[in-house]
C-alpha cells in the first residue's frame, strides 16, 4: 500500500461508481471517487432517472385533474399549471438525493476527487492537476446522448434539445417532435403531452420500444396513440433547420422515398446513448474500446488490464441504473477477494409512462428461438383492483419453458408495472416455475394478482377470465 494513494479509485460517481465506492469502503478498502460534475449521482440523479420521474409524477397528477380521471371519481377541479413550481420540486428532488450521496461518501470515508480523471499509466490517473496511484481503478464513466447528424442540439435555445434540455423547458411547447420511440422519447413525450403539448414521435423502426416483447410493443403503441401521441413509424429525420423559435425537420421513409417537412416548437433528440470514454486517455492504460465504443470486461468486471475494472453504461448490456448499481457492488466485492456476481439474464426494465411498461428475462420471440414455450396472458381489465381504479389498459404475460415450466420472461403493462415486476425478477432469480407463482398466495385486491393469474394461464387455468 505504501506506493499507492488508494486501494480503489473509481472514475465517475453515477449509480455504478458511487455504489462501487461505498461498497469498497464498507469492505475496508481505502477508496476515492473522481467526479467532474458539481454534484454526485451521475446521469441518473442529476439529469436522468430522478428528474424525469419527478416530472412524470407531477404531470400525471396534472393530467388526472385536467383530463377527467379525477372528475370520474367525483373530484371536480380545474387545475392551473404552475410550471415554475413543478420545475422547483424536480430540482429539490435532485438536490436532496445528490446531497445524500455526498453525505454517504463522508460517512463511509470515500474521498471525492473533484474533477475529470484521465489515465497517466495502468495504475495512475490525473485529476485537477494531481496524480493519484491506485491498486485498482474502476471505470464508471457512464454514457451521454448519441448525436443525430444534421439535427444539432442546443439546450440553451430550447428548440432542439436532448433529454437534459427536455426536462427544463420553460414553457409547454405547442408541438413537440420526439425523434426516437424509445424509453426517453416516450417518457418525456408523455410529460409534455400531459401538460398540453401536441406530441409527434418519429421512429426509424416499424415499431416503438425496441428490445421489448412484441405484444408489449404493439399494445404500448395502441395505448399511446389513444392518449394522443402521433407516431410516424419507419421514418427517419434527415435534417433540421431552426428558424427563430421553431424548427423545421426533413423526414424521409426509412426505406427511402419522398421527403416531407414537419414544423415543431421543440424537437427532442432521443435516439440512444453512447459510452463515455473520450478524454480518459485509455491508451495510456493499455485499454481499447470495442466497435460500439464500450469497454469489454470479464464476468467479474475486470478488463484485459489487471487492476482496471469497468461497470455500468460504459460496458455492454442494458443502460440502466440498477444494472450499474449491482455491477458496482459485485465489482467492489471481487476487488476485495469475495465473489460478486450479477445475473445479467434477470435485469428488469421499466418505462415509467402511464400505464407503466415493465419486463424481465426473455421476450416471447427470444424464448421461441431457444425452444418450445408456454405463454399465459391476463388482461388488467379482469384484475379487480385495476378495474376499480379505472385502469383497464394492459396485461401481464408469463413465458415459461414448455418442458420444465421454468419462467423465462415476464412482461407487464399496468399502472404499477414497475413495482409488480420485482416479484417476477425475484421468482426468476430463484428459478421459479409458472406453477410456483400460480400457487403463491397474492394479497387481494392488488394489481399483482394479475401476475398470479397470468402464471395460472400458462397451464390454462386462470380464474377470472
Ligand atoms: P452515469 O450515471 O452516466 O455516471 C457517470 C458519471 O461519470 C457522470 O457523473 C460523469 O460526469 C462522470 N464522468 C465521466 N467521465 C469522467 C471522468 N473522466 N472523470 C470523472 N468523472 C467522469 N435508468 C433506470 O434504470 N431507470 C430510469 O428511470 C432511468 N431514467 C433515465 C432518464 C433519462 C432522461 C436518462 C438520460 C437516463 C435514464 N436512465 C434510467 C439510465 C441511467 O441514468 C443510467 O443507466 C445510469 O445513470 C448509468 O450509471 P453509470 O454509473 O454507469 O453512469
Ligand atoms: P432507446 O435506445 O431506448 O431508443 C432510441 C430509439 O430511437 C429506438 O427506438 C431507435 O430505433 C430510434 N432511432 C434511432 N435512430 C433514429 C433515427 N435516426 N430516427 C428515428 N428514430 C431513431 O434510447 P433512448 O430513448 O435515447 O434512451 C437511452 C437509454 O437510456 C436507454 O438505453 C435506456 O436504457 C436509458 N433510459 C432508461 C429509462 C428507464 O429505465 N425508465 C428512462 C430513460 C432512459
Cell digits for 190? 408523455
| pLDDT band at residue 215 using 50, 70 and 90 as cut-offs | very high
Q: Give the pLDDT of residue 2.
A: 57
219-261 pLDDT, tens per residue? 999 999 999 999 999 999 999 999 989 999 999 999 999 999 9
236 is in an annotated binding site: no
Residue 404 pLDDT level (bands cut at 50, 70, 90): very high
Is 320 annotated for ligand binding?
yes
The answer to whether 342 is a known ligand-binding residue is: no
Ligand 2 atom showing the smallest separation from residue 208 Cα: 9
Does residue 75 have a known ligand-binding role? no
What is the pLDDT averaged over residues 260-268? 98
Confidence of residue 401 (pLDDT cuts 50, 70, 90): very high
Ligand with an atom nearest the CA of residue 276: 1
Q: Which spans in 2-155 are helix H?
A: 15-26, 42-47, 49-66, 83-107
CA 276 – ligand 1 centroid, Å: 10
> Per-residue pLDDT for 95 more than 70?
yes
What is the DSSP-derived secondary structure letter of residue 26? H
Report the C-alpha gap between 149 and 393 in whole angstroms. Answer: 37
Would you say 299 is a known binding-site residue?
no
Q: Could you tell me if the CB of 273 is within 6 A of ligand 2?
A: yes
251 Cβ closer than 6 Å to some ligand 2 atom: no
pLDDT of 359 strictly over 90: yes
Please state the atom number of ligand 2 nearest to the C-alpha of residue 321. Answer: 40
User: Which residue of 49, 163, 180 sits with most ligand 2 atoms within 8 Å of its CB, as the best mutation to test the pocket?
Assistant: 180
- Helical pair 15-26 and 83-107, crossing angle rounded to 10 deg: 30
Alpha carbon of 328 to ligand 1 centroid (Å): 13
Q: Parallel, antiparallel, or unpaired for β 124-127 and 130-139?
A: antiparallel
Model confidence at 139: pLDDT above 60: yes
Which ligand is in closest contact with the Cα of 277? 1
- pTM reported for the whole predicted model: 0.98
DSSP conformational letter for 312: G
Cα(422) to centroid of ligand 1, in Å? 22
What is the rounded distance in angstroms from the CA atom of residue 215 to the CA atom of residue 220?
8
CB-ligand 2 contact for 271 (6 Å cutoff): yes
ipTM above 0.95, yes or no: yes
Query: For residues 158 and 165, is the Cβ–Cβ distance under 8 A?
Result: yes
pLDDT one-digit tens code per residue, 432-447: 999 999 999 999 999 9
Q: How far apart are CA 44 and CA 53, in angstroms?
A: 10
Protein residues with CB under 6 Å of any ligand 1 atom: 11-17, 34-37, 42-44, 48-49, 52, 116-117, 140-143, 163, 184, 276, 279-280, 312-313, 319-322, 324, 352
List the residue whose alpha carbon is closest to atom 33 of ligand 1. Answer: 48
The percent of residues in the chain predicted with pLDDT above 70, rounded, is 100
Residue 1 confidence (pLDDT) above 70: no
DSSP state of 70: T
Q: What is the mean pLDDT of residues 96-106?
A: 98
Query: How far apart are the CA of 105 and the centre of ligand 1, in A?
Result: 18
Q: What is the pLDDT of residues 15-57, one digit of tens each?
A: 999 999 999 999 999 999 999 999 999 999 999 999 999 999 9
Nearest Cα to Cα of residue 101 among 321, 419, 347, 351:
321
The helix/strand/coil state of 358 is: strand
Name the closest-CA residue to atom 40, ligand 1.
Answer: 49
Q: Which residue numbers are catalytic?
A: 444
The pLDDT value given to residue 461: 87
* Residue nearest (by alpha carbon) to ligand 2 atom 38: 183
Residue closest via CA to ligand 1's atom 14 equals 141
Ligand 2 centroid from CA 209, angstroms: 8
Residue nearest to atom 8 of ligand 1 (CA): 42
Residue 176: which H helix or E strand, with range? strand 175-179
Return contacts of 91-95, CB within 8 angstroms, 24+ apart.
Answer: 91/51, 93/50, 93/51, 93/54, 94/39, 94/41, 94/45, 94/46, 94/50, 94/51, 94/54, 95/39
What integer is the mean pLDDT of 120-144? 98
313 is known to lie in a ligand binding site: yes
Amino acid at each position: 500500500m505504501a506506493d499507492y494513494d488508494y486501494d480503489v479509485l473509481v472514475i465517475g460517481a453515477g449509480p455504478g461508481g458511487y455504489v462501487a465506492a461505498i461498497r469498497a469502503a464498507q469492505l475496508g478498502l481505502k477508496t476515492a471517487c473522481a467526479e467532474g460534475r458539481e454534484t454526485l449521482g451521475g446521469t441518473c440523479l442529476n439529469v436522468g432517472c430522478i428528474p424525469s420521474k419527478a416530472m412524470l409524477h407531477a404531470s400525471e397528477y396534472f393530467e388526472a385533474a385536467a383530463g377527467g380521471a379525477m372528475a370520474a371519481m367525483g373530484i371536480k377541479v380545474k387545475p392551473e399549471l404552475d410550471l415554475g413550481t413543478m420545475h422547483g420540486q424536480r430540482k429539490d428532488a435532485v438536490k436532496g438525493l445528490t446531497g445524500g450521496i455526498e453525505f454517504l461518501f463522508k460517512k463511509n470515508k470515500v474521498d471525492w476527487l473533484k474533477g475529470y480523471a484521465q489515465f497517466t499509466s495502468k495504475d495512475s490517473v490525473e485529476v485537477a492537476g494531481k496524480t493519484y496511484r491506485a491498486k485498482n481503478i474502476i471505470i464508471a464513466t457512464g454514457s451521454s446522448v448519441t448525436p443525430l447528424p444534421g439535427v444539432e442540439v442546443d439546450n440553451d435555445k430550447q428548440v432542439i434539445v436532448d433529454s437534459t434540455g427536455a426536462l427544463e423547458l420553460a414553457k409547454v411547447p405547442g408541438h413537440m417532435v420526439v425523434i426516437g420511440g424509445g424509453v426517453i422519447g416516450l417518457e418525456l413525450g408523455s410529460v409534455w403531452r400531459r401538460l398540453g403539448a401536441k406530441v409527434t414521435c418519429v421512429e426509424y423502426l416499424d415499431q416503438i420500444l425496441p428490445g421489448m416483447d412484441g405484444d408489449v410493443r404493439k399494445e404500448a403503441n395502441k395505448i399511446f396513440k389513444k392518449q394522443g401521441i402521433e407516431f410516424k413509424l419507419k421514418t427517419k429525420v434527415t435534417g433540421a433547420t431552426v428558424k427563430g423559435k421553431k424548427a423545421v425537420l426533413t423526414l424521409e421513409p426509412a426505406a427511402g422515398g419522398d421527403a416531407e417537412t414537419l414544423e415543431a416548437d421543440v424537437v427532442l433528440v432521443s435516439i440512444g446513448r453512447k459510452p463515455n470514454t473520450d478524454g480518459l486517455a485509455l491508451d495510456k492504460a493499455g485499454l481499447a474500446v470495442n466497435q460500439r465504443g464500450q469497454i469489454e470486461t470479464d464476468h467479474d468486471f475486470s478488463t484485459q488490464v489487471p487492476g482496471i475494472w469497468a461497470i455500468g453504461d460504459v460496458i455492454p448490456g442494458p443502460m440502466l441504473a440498477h444494472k450499474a448499481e449491482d455491477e458496482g457492488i459485485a465489482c467492489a466485492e471481487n476487488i476485495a477477494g469475495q465473489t460478486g456476481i450479477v445475473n445479467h439474464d434477470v435485469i428488469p426494465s421499466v418505462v415509467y409512462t402511464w400505464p407503466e411498461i415493465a419486463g424481465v428475462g426473455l421476450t416471447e420471440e427470444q424464448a421461441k428461438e431457444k425452444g418450445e414455450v408456454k405463454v399465459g396472458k391476463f388482461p388488467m381489465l379482469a384484475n379487480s383492483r385495476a378495474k376499480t381504479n379505472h385502469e383497464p389498459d394492459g396485461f401481464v404475460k408469463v413465458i415459461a419453458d414448455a418442458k420444465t415450466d421454468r419462467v423465462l420472461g415476464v412482461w407487464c403493462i399496468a399502472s404499477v408495472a414497475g413495482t409488480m415486476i420485482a416479484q417476477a425478477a425475484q421468482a426468476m432469480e430463484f428459478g421459479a416455475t409458472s406453477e410456483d407463482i400460480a400457487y403463491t398466495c397474492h394479497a387481494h385486491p392488488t394489481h399483482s394478482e394479475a401476475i398470479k393469474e397470468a402464471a395460472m394461464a400458462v397451464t390454462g387455468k386462470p380464474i377470472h377470465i
